[in-house]
Amino acid sequence: MDAPAVPPFQELQAPASWRTADFISDLHLHASEPATFDAWRAYMRTTGTDAVFILGDLFEVWVGDDAALEPGFAADCAAVMKATAARMPVFFMHGNRDFLVGPGFIRATHATLLEDPSVFTFLGERWLLTHGDALCLQDADYLAFRAQVRTQHWQRDFLAKPLAERKAIARGLREQSEARKRSGAPYADVDADAATSWLKAADARVMIHGHTHRPGDHELPGGRRRIVLSDWDAAATRPRLQVLRIGDAGALRVELA
């Protein structure tokens, strides 16, 4: 597939007082996996960083902000976000699972919506932040689906459905996703040439993204690189609970388990 046009970048400048910033993604929070939710809640309550950046797929699925208006899992997640945002800035970027998080949720939690992609200037460096799914060019079927569901028309029609119907649709999609995981089908990776083009356009050396569930550090041409965030799974045989923390020492991975 041809490389997508380089998108515009939101610019975010860190205050001079900030010393560290944390980055997480792909927690896929869901009521059926309470251990990961508990680990995330504990982290959000105790982290001493200056800001938390959530780069997509905080939730396994999000069917609309009205889901958080009734008692339950979505409301519990909103309460965690709000409590943390009372202590420090919390930035949220849409992922491929939670692109329907809307202004109602953002207002209620006092979080800040971060455009995808964004350039974060911090400690003399320009860091390019993205969820990463738009750069997986080999996954043509997904990119076609992404283009469809990101339109105002599709989202308006979906959100007009009763909440119970939206939840039923989400259950079906999750069952399809779980079946794919069990099949062992490989997921597409970020295209290195497209990532390099974005970095050049953003005048940045380092890209930070999630989505691929392949944590690592990849060298790119011209002294550039991309840092891939880990997904979270507290119930795994070897729990995956990792934060990327940027500070004076650079970008370090912090294991919470």
Helical residues (DSSP H) of 121-243, grouped into ranges: 140-149, 152-159, 163-183, 192-202
Tens-digit pLDDT profile for residues 185-244: 677 899 999 999 999 999 999 999 999 999 999 999 999 999 999 999 999 999 999 999
- Mean per-residue pLDDT pooled into runs of 10, the chain (257 residues): 76 98 98 97 98 97 95 97 98 97 97 98 97 94 92 96 94 80 77 96 97 95 97 96 97 95
What domains can be seen in the chain, in order of their start residue? 10-255 (3.60.21.10)
- Would you state the pLDDT for residue 176? 81
User: What are φ and ψ of residue 226, in 5° steps?
Assistant: -125, 135
Confidence (pLDDT) at 35:
98
pTM above 0.85, yes or no: yes
Residue 82: HSE in the Cβ half-sphere, 13 Å Cα cutoff: 13
pLDDT at 178: 76
Task: Classify burial at 237, counting beta carbons within 10 Å of its beta carbon; exposed 0-12, middle 13-18, buried 19 or more.
Answer: exposed
The predicted pLDDT at position 186 comes to 72
Q: Cα–Cα–Cα angle for 140, 147, 230, nearest 5°?
A: 70
**3-state SS, residue 247:** strand
Euclidean distance between CA atoms 35 and 146, whole angstroms: 30
Query: What pLDDT sits at residue 57?
Result: 97
Question: Taking a C-beta distance cutoff of 8 angstroms, is the pair 99, 131 a contact?
Answer: no
